[in-house]
Structure formats: structure tokens, C-alpha cells
Chain A
Amino acid sequence: MKKLHYSELWCSSPRYWGGLALLAFIIALGLGSAYYMEHHGHWVTGMSNQVVWGLPHVFAIFLIVAASGALNVASIGSVFGGPMYKPLGRFSALLAIGLLAGGLVVLLLDLGRPDRLIVAMTKYNFKSIFAWNILLYTGFFAIVGVYIWTMIDRTVNKHYKMVGFAAFFWRLALTTGTGSIFGFLVAREAYDTAILAPMFIIMSFSFGLAFFILALISAYWWAGRQLGELRLTKLKNLLGVFIGAVLYFTLVYHLTNLYITAKHGVEAFVLLNGGIYPVMFWLGQILIGSIIPLFLIYSPAFSKSRFVISVASVLVLIGGFFQVYVIVIGGQAYPMSLFPGKEVLESSFYDGVVASYVPTLPEAMLGIGGIAVAMALVAIGSRMLKVLPESLEDPEDECA
């Protein structure tokens, strides 16, 4: 068995510092946008009393969901004992922490009162799934932090399996919690379904892995280290399976809704006549986010191209973003049915009409800033910790 050497990402090249500087710049823009929104109030955003969660929430939820999925690679390595995945475990855990931190920053800065963070941390209403999520997120940082530690430090390595299991279950709980934020909203037709929580778990597998593949390829490119074909092929094929699973769950979700007559309205809204939302669904999620990547991944012509694998991963992320957008914004834009059997002739509060939402630049900048926070944390983390094997050449025999 060949011994693996991990080492810090040590490259003094302009590639690393230039990249980091760029990320810092994007983060600064994001912070500036957040300040702008807080200073003036949310009226400068596209959000309103009808669409109360806007683009920042889409980014935040997308990142948080992806975070739990990014840990998948580590889990496969330690919980399911996949030898090809084990060497990637440390990096996968680091990425998970980075993505979660990025998402939470966005969530926090979009609050009406981000200055009251201390209130959010000290006052809990335990009936609120949101409060549970605060605990789940904090716990995730702690457990995954310890997980990395058990992987790196030989003296505590004996606990590695146990912590690995804990992290695995914690992240399932975390994604269930995130999905349940919507699942519990009986008020809104699009969300009132139990399938949202498991669907979020499958989504997390897919988005998380796509992020992981991209981060891995860029890290090895940044550092000029070797990354073997076999491992990438495995990851890529796994991504294909996850994309298929998300498609399947999407199908079940819509079929269940179509089965319930009362939900035909909201289904038609998302699938057919809801303006921008059906376009995002069919073009964004289904075509760009699922069908094209599946084709790229499984078509023998491209199977070895690193570029194509990266493109497929990026498309999965774009599609996933649209998917979250349709769930978060589309679900709010569709009017609540307060008076079944009646049509609303007049209301000053947009009762019975589709709410409009046009995202603004600061909202987008804040969200992109969150992604930059995630990437910067991973870049800095890989430079400070031994998370990446010096070489990921394909092993001669299948063990690591």
C-alpha cells in the first residue's frame, strides 16, 4: 500500500495570491452591498411584503444545501469505506465548512436587523425550525471541525470512524432542517408537502458534489499537483447518479402535487403559465442543470476531458440555483388562496395576484459575496492545513 502524503497547498505563485485578491475584492463588494441595503432599508431591494425572501435567500439556501452535500465524499470514505474517496475526505470536510459559512453570512446580512445576531444566538423558540437550524449549523461547524482534526492528527485518529458517523447523521439532519423551513409552511401551497425535506437531501448530494469536483480540479491546478483520471471518473459518474436522483424526486414532487386537485393552480404556475418560473424550471433546472450535464457526463466522447467535467459541474450548479430560485421565489409569487371560490376584485395588498419580484444588483452582489467567502475559506484552509494529498495519481492497486 502506497502511503499518502498530505501537505498544505503551498504555492507562492501569482495564481494563488491573485486568486485570493480577487476573492477578497468580491467579498468587499458583497459587504458593501449589505451595508447599502441595511443603511437604506430593504426598500432598495426587490423584496416587498409579498415576496419577503429574495435573491439573498436563494444564494444562502443554495450554499447551505450544497455544504452538507460537499461532505458526502468524506462520508463515503469513512462511513461506507470507499478507498478511492478516503484521501479526499479532509478536503471535502473543509469545503463543507466553507460553503456553510458562506451561506450563513448571506443569510445573516440579509436580516432586517443583522446587528441583533446576539439575540438570535441567545433567545430560542424551540418550536421554531429556524431556531433548530441555528443549532444544527453551529453543531455542523463543530463536528466537521473535529472530523478534520481526527483525519489529520494521528493521536486522535482512532475516533475517526465514530466522528465520521456523527458528521454523516448530523448533515442529514441539517439538510432535513433546511428543507423543513419550507415544509412547515402550511400557509403556502407550493411548500405544504412532506417531500421537500428528502428532496433537499438529494439536491444537496448533487450540488455538493458539483462544488467538490470544481474545487478539487481548481486546487490541483492552482498547486500544480497531479490528479488522477480514475478518481475523477468515479466522482463524475457519481455526479451523474445524483443528477438523475434529483430529476426523479422533482418528478415525484410534481406528480404528487398534480394528484392533489387543489394544487393544480400552483403546478400550472410553475410548469406552464407562471411567466419566468416555468422558463427557469424547464430551461434552467431541467435542460441546463440536468439533461446537458447528464449528456456530457455519460457521453463516451467527452469522458476523459477535465474541461467537460468542469463544465458539467458548473451547469449542475446553475441548474440547482434555478431550482432553488423557483422554490423560494416562485413559491412566494404564487398568490395565496384566502378566499377559495372567489376572485379578488380589489386589494391594496396584492391579494389574489401574482407578486412581482425583480432582484436588484446589491442582492446579487451579496449572494455572490457569499460564494466568494466560501471559496476564500477553502483556499486559506488548504494553505494552512494538510488537507490535500500531494499527489492523487491513480493508485496501481485500488487502495489508499
Chain B
Amino acid sequence: MGKHDDQLDMKRREFIGKTVLAAGAATVAPGILLTVARAANETRGVTSAVRWGMLIDTNKCADDCTACVDACNKENGIDLVQRPEGASDADWNAQRPQWIRKVKLRDMATQVVTTLPMMCQHCEYPPCVDVCPTGASFKRADGIVMVDRHICIGCRYCMMACPYKARSFIHQNVENQLVAVPRGKGCVESCNFCVQRIDAGNTTTACQEACDKAGHKAILFGDLKDPESEITRAFKTHNSRQIRAELKLNTGVRYIDV
């Protein structure tokens, strides 16, 4: 995240910001109703002066803990998604939405075992946004990548393109959902850094809060552009890296010791 990355970033942000504000400047014909719905929930207080990001210290992530996953499921209404009657265990596990998951790894050379949470890495250059035909996948000015469920057509191209398998398709009917986190059968969704909390002025995600509460403090969420923020300072003192760094996506989520 050097200086020049930020510069590039500005251009893209301006572009996306304008798209959102001008409500469909990037579209051929205006889908007026949909666009208005979209502009209304995005523009509030979103600024490119901020880039939200996350630093995960795998040393602190506990093996048998799933606090972050549980908190995410609750915060985002994922626990409300019902298992369809007649779906086998295998089907359900492969088809239910998962925004964040725990992964346990063993280094083949050193045998060291690591556990870590995986979720959308909020790429600065997100392949999911590039491939989305309708622009439903988009990156906000503050770096949050999310899906506009009003214009997602459920083509799943973004899922093909995401290098982190971060996205889930809603395979079943949705009976119950939270007002703040709309969900629809046939659309794609993924971690959005608890955007509803951020937009309400909160500065932590549900997963970080839960991890802190469980006493591990493995997840640090914050503004990568604020030189005073805890996360920026932690970046300076720790050796962190991006997963699949060779793809040069400049992810907003970084890991210590993987």
C-alpha cells in the first residue's frame, strides 16, 4: 500500500463514486427505479478519505474457536437461512452461505499448524467487480466490496472470478431476514465488513468484536489511510502479507504469519 497505490486508487474511487452518485452514469440505458434504490443506500457518508481494512494475526487465532463465524452469522442474519427440507448434510454444507470461515493449515515443510479466518479480502482491484455484467458487484469509495442485491442477476460469474472463494450464492428460499441485511434467493453475497454497522458510525465489525470478547484479539479492523489508527501502526511493526499476493489485487485484508 505505497503512495502510488493510493494514487491509482483515487482514480478508481472517483470513477466508482461518480458512478454511484450520478446514478448509473456507467449504464447504457437507465434502469431508473433500481438505480435510485441503489444510490440511496450507498452514498451516505462514504468517502475515499477512508479505506477499511483488516489485519489478522494468525498467532492469536485459536484452533477451536469459532467466535468470529458465529458473530458474523448472527450479525448478518446468516443463521436465519433455513436448511431446505430434504437437503442432505453434504448438500447443505456445500450450499449454505458462509461469509467467513475458519481454515486450518499445516505447512508441508515445517509442519507448523495455523488457523485463520478467511473472508472477502476486499481487493483494491477486485476481479469480482471487473467481471460482473450488471455492475451489481461494486467497490465503495471506502474500499468495501459488496453486492447490490437489487441488480444482481445471479449469474455467479463473480464466484468464478474470486480468487479466495469468498462468495456464496443463495440456493434456497429466504423466509426470515434482517432488515439491515437484505437477502434474496438467487443472488450472490459475501462479507461486506458489516457495512450496516460502519454506516451507522460503528468502527468495529462483528467478527472483531467477538474475537476481542473471546480474549484472542486476532482480528484488527480499521482505516488503512489514517496514519494514527491502530491498524496502520500495527502494519508498521508487523510483517504481514496478502494471500495470493502474486495476483496483485492489493487486498484490504492482510495476515500475520501464514
List A residues at the B interface (Cβ < 8 Å).
38, 40-43, 47-50, 52-53, 111-114, 116-120, 122-131, 134, 181, 184-188, 332, 336, 338-339, 341-351, 355-356
- B95, A112: Cβ atoms under 8 Å? no
Contact A111 B159 (CB under 8 A): no
For B98, give its contact among A38, A49, A116 (CB under 8 Å).
Answer: A49
Q: B156–A52 contact, CB under 8 A?
A: yes
Q: Are A43 and B113 in contact (CB under 8 A)?
A: no
B216 within 8 A of A: no
What is the chain B residue whose CB lies nearest that of A336?
A: B165
What are the residues of chain A within 8 A of B156 when measuring CB–CB?
52-53, 112
> Which A residues touch B20, using CB under 8 A?
none
> DSSP class of A's interface residues: helix, strand, loop or mixed?
loop
Whether the pair A49, B87 counts as a contact (CB closer than 8 A) is: no
Interface: B94 (CB within 8 A): yes
List residues of chain A with CB within 8 A of the CB of B222.
none
Pair B163/A336 contact, Cβ less than 8 Å: yes
Chain B residue contacts of A111, Cβ below 8 A? 153-155, 186
**Which single residue of chain A is at the shortest CB-CB distance from B174?**
A41
Partner of B171, one of A42, A119, A185, A350: A42
* Distance between Cα atoms of A41 and B24 in the complex (Å): 29
Residue B14, interface by CB 8 Å:
no
Whether B168 and A345, one on each chain, are in contact in the complex, defined by CB atoms closer than 8 angstroms, is no
In the complex the two chains form, is B105's CB within 8 Å of A345's CB?
yes
A112-B152, A128-B131, A345-B104 given; A41·B31 CB < 8 A: no
Q: Which A residues are CB-close (under 8 A) to B87?
A: 43
Q: Is the CB of A123 within 8 A of B134?
A: yes
Does B132 contact A113, Cβ atoms closer than 8 Å?
Answer: no
Q: Is the CB of B185 within 8 A of A119?
A: no
Nearest CB in chain A: distance from B34 CB, A: 7
The docked-state distance in angstroms from the alpha carbon of A42 to that of B127 is: 24
Question: How far is B27's CA from A122's CA once the two chains are assembled, in angstroms?
Answer: 7
How many Å from the CB of A120 to the closest CB on chain B?
5
Is B167 part of the contact surface with A, judged by Cβ < 8 Å? yes
Excluding A129-B131, A184-B130, A350-B94, 6 further A-B contacts by CB distance (< 8 Å) are A112-B170, A112-B185, A117-B153, A185-B127, A187-B161, A338-B164
* Known contacts A49-B159, A112-B155, A342-B108; is-contact A351 B103 (Cβ 8 Å): yes
Contact indicator B94/A48 (Cβ below 8 Å): yes
CB distance from B164 to the nearest CB of A (A): 7
**Cα separation A11 to B35 with both chains bound (whole Å):** 52
Q: Given that A112-B155, A112-B188 are known contacts, is A187 also in contact with B127, CB under 8 Å in the complex?
A: yes
CA distance A120 to B28 in the complex (A): 11
Q: CA A108 – CA B114 in complex, angstroms?
A: 42
Q: Could you say which residues of chain A place their CB within 8 Å of the CB of B113?
A: 345
**CB <8 Å contact, A112 and B169:** yes
